[in-house]
Amino acid sequence: MRPATRLLLALGAELAAFAGLHVLFREAWWWLAGAAFAIVATAAAATARRALRRRRGRSWLPTAIGALVTLLLVWIVYAPGALPIAPRGEAGVLDRFGALLDAGATSIRTQAIPANATDGIVFILVLAVAALALLGELVVLGVRLPGLVLVPVAVLLGIPLAVRADVADPLWYVVAGALCLALLAGTRGAGTRTRRAGGRARALGPGIAGAGILVLSLAAPSVLPSATPPDVQSGGLVASINPIVDVGENLRRGQPQEVLRYDTDNNRSVYLRLATLGDFNGDVWTPLPAEDDPSRAVSAFPAPPGLGEGIAREDRSVEVDVGSIGGRWLPVPYPATSVTGVGDGWYWEPDGLAVRGFGVNIFGLDYQADYLDVRPTADELRAPLAPGDQAASLALPAGLPDVIRDTALEVAGDEPTDYDRAVALQDWLRGPEFTYSLDAPVEEDFDGAGADAIARFLDVKSGYCVHFSSAMALMARSLGIPARVVVGFAPGSPTQDRSAYVVTTHDEHAWPELYFSGVGWVRFEPTPGVGSVPNYGANAPAGEDDGSTPTPTPTSAPSSTATAGPSDRPDVDPGAPTGSAAQSVAGWHTAGIVLAVLLVLAIPAITRALLRAGRLRRIRRGEDAASTAWDELRDTLVDLGYDAPVELTPRQLESELGREGPLGDLVAAVERGAYGPDADPARLVATLRAARRSLISQETGPVRLRALLAPASLFGAVRRGLEGRFG
């Protein structure tokens, strides 16, 4: 195989493996950017190698030139106008690159899968794939060990499995493996015309090592022990919570990961908000605006909007310990009065009192949040709404489906006050007509919180917290009650000794808040089987949660034989496997990928065996027996690493090989058959088999294995076609 062909196959395998990262990122432009830089890097190094081909012993020099060209292109694209050494007070090239690396690392920590490919992430991907492409060019054309291409390929293919074993796409393993196999099959060393001694064996050793790395990268997630407790499994990277993305997608992510732990001096568990979503455009709810205004530092919060002096309240605090989770929204109770222990960079937004970070992250924070435990009575909530109060939270988009307003009027239109109407909506949504399901929205082709999705939800009466909270908020607005949606965490589950609560990614939750004059914003819980009904509910005595809400099951003693449903763990998909069951599913998934790869790798051997069996049948039938036997002998020699040009006669080939015995007997039989029909086809078959056994027995084990798994004779036509087109 010519060098250009080998290089194209190696680069194709690397880009195919790079495409396997699509399960981690949205859209595809990140792949186009990485592929462009990889191609430039490879072309620059290969061109330099051709120009410097007379400089023996400096295989690294063209690779270094390719790296310099790539860095120059990175400079032009990612730091235009920046100088290597910038004047005082200005950012130089290294400063720009460092900022991009920091931004990329932060994005990786703070986004969920699939993530948005930010400039920082793409910068990291570009550098990584260009470096691996240069490594591929070096091992193929520099040190001439093409089998080592499987190392960068395995690195790229292993990244999705390192993040989470159940997201890898087997297609790109197959494509990359097939291209690597074609590369190894066509690789030869230097030697005589008939035998290139040691060339194939030289390529085979690294190839087997690389194949081993590839298989291990597939199997490792099922074999290696988990780094997290068995009740809360994690992916490879830190998970993230972004309140803007679809909550349902996060809830359907399989195994839960611990987000945080908290303890409180309250006698009740605590809802922790991330973002307040107050604007609705008909398709999505968006957060209320937040600014990095020093006057909004979290050391002191303003009084909550609308809270009157006469409403009962108690000062409470909660201590939060955030785990391996990232995000720019700080989990705090409502209404918070102060937060200590988080440092600078965190600011509250004035209406929802949510806390957003600017240039900071919640990862690993340990802080205390003081808040008011507000306890209004039902009579206080029945006060009429003041004219113009919270008018922005009454806005509804044009074209709102009629079913939303009509249903609200039917369910609660006859109630005397806004509060009674709100309770009627809550009770109806929590009633027997509705079921909690994470699957129904997907199966019914609706998801999210858009107006059309909510109209569909009211029809099928099955969904999850996003649907219940958005439906109640929109119906409340249609009845003239200011309403909004909050995204955060349900209270979680107490530890075994009940000294703290554990919150996982399966506790991510959405709930509505409605506004009442003299009281302000208050929480409702329309999602059945989740969290707790507030203490101002129609059937709940003041100061107590609704007794119908079950107590969460402690998480420190997980069961491997049962899967919690919505009734005992908030927002958990009842069909999602947990604990050892989930590990078993992931193990079978990985085993399926490994089996698929092995089957693909076995295709050449199976094809070659079927071709040989067909030839033997034709010989037995006397159909052009001599030339068929000669074709099989020549292909056997090619598989073993010999050159067997078609222009050589059987006698010339025997002379070049310098072998007698079974090979000589077969050559004589082929020569006889060339001038007339063979009198005994069965004897010709036996002679052919004896010659093949003799040739194979004289080779080393690695050569035999390569001849079996990657028979080069199968790739002759493909190789010649590629060389004719690209050579």
Q: Are 491 and 531 in contact (CB under 8 A)?
A: yes
Tell me phi and psi for residue 264, to 5 degrees.
Answer: -145, 155
How much is the pLDDT for 187? 59
Task: Give me the CATH number covering residue 356.
Answer: 3.10.620.30
Q: Are 540 and 533 in contact (CB under 8 A)?
A: yes
Average confidence (pLDDT) over 631-647: 75
How much is the pLDDT for 175? 86
Q: Are 711 and 185 in contact (CB under 8 A)?
A: yes
How much is the pLDDT for 330? 93
The pLDDT tens digits for 425-437 are 999 999 999 999 8
In a domain, 228, yes or no: no
Distance CA 101, CA 281 (A): 35
How much is the pLDDT for 326? 74
Distance CA 437, CA 572 (A): 9
In a domain, 520, yes or no: yes
How far is CA 535 from its chain centroid? 41
106 against 573, higher pLDDT: 106
- Do 41 and 79 lie in one domain? The reply is yes
For residue 288, is pLDDT > 70? yes
For residue 339, is pLDDT > 70? yes
- Do 611 and 520 lie in one domain? The reply is no
How much is the pLDDT for 564? 33
345 against 599, higher pLDDT: 345
Distance CA 7, CA 5 (A): 5
How much is the pLDDT for 238? 46
Q: How many domains does the chain have?
A: 3
Of 564, 447, 456, 473, nearest to 525 by C-alpha is: 473
In a domain, 707, yes or no: yes
Q: Are 382 and 479 in contact (CB under 8 A)?
A: no
In a domain, 403, yes or no: yes
In a domain, 347, yes or no: yes
Average confidence (pLDDT) over 528-541: 67
Q: Are 600 and 619 in contact (CB under 8 A)?
A: no
Kindly report the average pLDDT of the chain as a whole number: 76
How much is the pLDDT for 586? 45
How much is the pLDDT for 57? 53
Lowest mean pLDDT among 29-33, 229-233, 338-342, 505-509: 229-233
How much is the pLDDT for 445? 62
Say if pTM beats, i.e. exceeds, 0.75.
no
What confidence tier does 404 reach under pLDDT thresholds 50, 70, 90? very high
- Do 263 and 326 lie in one domain? The reply is yes
How much is the pLDDT for 250? 65
User: What's the N-to-C CA distance of the chain in angstroms?
Assistant: 9
- Do 184 and 264 lie in one domain? The reply is no
How much is the pLDDT for 683? 80
- Do 497 and 643 lie in one domain? The reply is no
Q: What percent of the chain shows pLDDT beyond 70?
A: 71
The pLDDT tens digits for 386-397 are 888 888 899 999
Distance CA 700, CA 540 (A): 82
Distance CA 353, CA 470 (A): 20
What confidence tier does 475 reach under pLDDT thresholds 50, 70, 90? very high
What confidence tier does 243 reach under pLDDT thresholds 50, 70, 90? low
Q: Which of 182-196, 521-535, 568-582 reaches the highest mean pLDDT?
A: 521-535
Lowest mean pLDDT among 348-352, 355-359, 709-713: 709-713
How far is CA 419 from its chain centroid? 44
In a domain, 583, yes or no: no
- Do 335 and 291 lie in one domain? The reply is yes
Strands lying side by side in the sheet with 366-374: 336-340, 366-374, 313-322, 258-264, 501-504, 493-494
Tell me phi and psi for residue 238, to 5 degrees.
Answer: -65, 140
For residue 655, is pLDDT > 70? no
- Do 592 and 554 lie in one domain? The reply is no
Average confidence (pLDDT) over 155-159: 82
Which residue bears the tokens 């506790």? Answer: 507
In a domain, 231, yes or no: no
How much is the pLDDT for 591? 57
- Do 480 and 562 lie in one domain? The reply is yes
> 546, 577, 608 — which closes off a domain?
577
For residue 466, is pLDDT > 60? yes
207 against 560, higher pLDDT: 207
Q: Which domain holds residue 89?
A: 3-223
For residue 514, is pLDDT > 50? yes
Distance CA 233, CA 583 (A): 9
The pLDDT tens digits for 73-84 are 988 888 887 777
Which residue bears the tokens 């190094």? Answer: 45
Which residue bears the tokens 């694209």? Answer: 77
For residue 307, is pLDDT > 90? yes
> 552, 577, 602 — which closes off a domain?
577
Lowest mean pLDDT among 180-194, 296-310, 410-424: 180-194
Lowest mean pLDDT among 51-65, 255-269, 400-414, 516-530: 51-65
- Do 320 and 433 lie in one domain? The reply is yes
- Do 706 and 614 lie in one domain? The reply is yes
234 against 277, higher pLDDT: 277
DSSP annotation of 675 reads T
How much is the pLDDT for 341? 93
Average confidence (pLDDT) over 527-546: 61
In a domain, 533, yes or no: yes
For residue 108, is pLDDT > 90? no
- Do 202 and 261 lie in one domain? The reply is no
- Cα-Cα-Cα-Cα torsion 128, 49, 148, 6, nearest 10 degrees, comes to 110
What confidence tier does 54 reach under pLDDT thresholds 50, 70, 90? low
For residue 718, is pLDDT > 50? no
How much is the pLDDT for 213? 47
Average confidence (pLDDT) over 587-607: 64
Distance CA 386, CA 418 (A): 12
> 223, 251, 275 — which closes off a domain?
223
The pLDDT tens digits for 117-139 are 888 888 999 999 999 999 888 88
Distance CA 7, CA 35 (A): 15
Average confidence (pLDDT) over 294-317: 92
The pLDDT tens digits for 87-103 are 665 667 788 888 888 77
Using the Cα atoms of residue 576, residue 464, residue 112 and residue 565 in order, give the sign of their dihedral.
negative
What confidence tier does 85 reach under pLDDT thresholds 50, 70, 90? low
Q: What percent of the chain shows pLDDT beyond 90?
A: 26
- Do 185 and 294 lie in one domain? The reply is no
